[in-house]
Amino acid sequence: MYWTAHLEDGPLGDPNPAVAVGCRIYSFGWPSSTKKPSEQVPMHVHALNTENLSWSKVLPTSKDEQSSSYPRHRFGHSAVVYEDKIYIWGGMFNEHFFDELLCFDPVTSSWSIPKVSGTVPQTRNSHFAFVIEHSMYLIGGYDRRTKKYSPDVFALDLRTMQWKYIAAHSGPYMWEGISACAVGHRIYIFGGELYRSHWNGGSFLDTVSGRWHRIVICESCHLTWKSPAFVHENSIYVFGGTCPKSNWDGIYLLKLATDTNRWVEVHMPGMSPIPHVFHACVVVSCRVFVFGAKCRFAGNHVDLHIVDFRPSLYMLCLRVVLQHRLDIKNLPKALRMELLGICAHSRLEERVLKLQHVYKPEHGDCEHTSGCR
């Protein structure tokens, strides 16, 4: 694993859901560089081409934007991918909660509202959604009826569009700031904050048996809060978030091996980003794209950072050239442009280094997990 790229001028900075379809990452929400809307406006869709690392806004047709199927702007919604189509559910805007299922077709850039049946979940926001086989599982989230985070689990069969309630046994309480992801037929949750108390435990739901199981967490392992999780080769990774003991935003990466349920800290070469919370981590092939974040010290981020699980020798050579600030004026023009464009070493990396130096916690402020192998 290696930090291979740091780019500026991305359009996103709020916690918007993002998913990958092919070589493109789609994010659904409001760009941080724009003033927040005071009334219902169409949802913004941005796409990142992971081959040339360029952002673009997905523009609807005038007919589609005026139709009733075009979604309005919202917060706290979820997005999943099934058979190359993106399904969005939930969210809220100005105390209005949404409960319709939306479908976005990346090929035609068009929206539709599939007709659903069965036990439809109540409106909520800040929930999690995952696709396991042919079903979209909905878990957690803030329920406006109870004014609490819901422990309910629902599943939508994406072939028949029928909802059903999953009576999961021995389920944990749900709370704010948890991390969650799906591996195989399991849904894992961990971390978060309940009644201003940080929870350092973890559980997983076996969607086959419908039962919850506890994960034993090493005492020296302190999970962060508001940390997005991603999966690579059946291992769960958590990056960034807030360290509860020091009131500090973290920059370290934790790994959970699902066969042993043990957390370890992963040390990656290259330059890591400045502290992040509320960011997105999307896996495309062997790379993880980190973007759209906030920092209590530096405000919104519009940066894009890339973790490569299998960096090529070519990419590693590029990083060495930039790291040591070697003279590139005699290199071929195409290579110079790649060095300047892809790695963007001038302004961003200098700013990253400065902020890392300023906001790095003192030794002992936030315990890491080097002792919990």
Beta bridge partners of residue 143, listed in sequence order: 124, 148
The predicted-structure confidence for 145-195, as pLDDT tens digits, reads as follows: 888 888 889 999 999 999 999 977 667 777 777 889 999 999 998 877 766
Task: Sketch the domain layout of the chain as residue ranges.
Answer: 2-311+343-359
CA distance 324 to 75: 42
Flag whether pLDDT at 87 surpasses 80: yes
CA distance 320 to 362: 29
The predicted-structure confidence for 291-333, as pLDDT tens digits, reads as follows: 876 665 555 666 788 889 998 888 888 878 877 888 888 888 8
Residues 6+ apart with CB under 8 A from 68: 113
- The chain-wide mean pLDDT, for the chain, equals 78
Residue 157 exposure: Cα atoms within 13 Å on the Cβ side: 10
CA distance 292 to 298: 13
Flag whether pLDDT at 48 surpasses 70: yes
- H-type helices in the chain, by residue range? 62-66, 313-323, 333-342, 347-359
Residues 6+ apart with CB under 8 A from 184: 132, 234, 258
CA distance 326 to 252: 29
When pLDDT is cut at 50, 70 and 90, the band that residue 369 belongs to is: very low
pLDDT (mean) for 236-241: 82
Residues 6+ apart with CB under 8 A from 62: none
Highest mean pLDDT among 17-26, 37-46, 270-279, 343-352: 17-26
pTM, full prediction: 0.84
CA distance 72 to 38: 12
When pLDDT is cut at 50, 70 and 90, the band that residue 243 belongs to is: low
CA distance 205 to 212: 4
CATH number assigned to the domain covering 2-311+343-359:
2.120.10.80
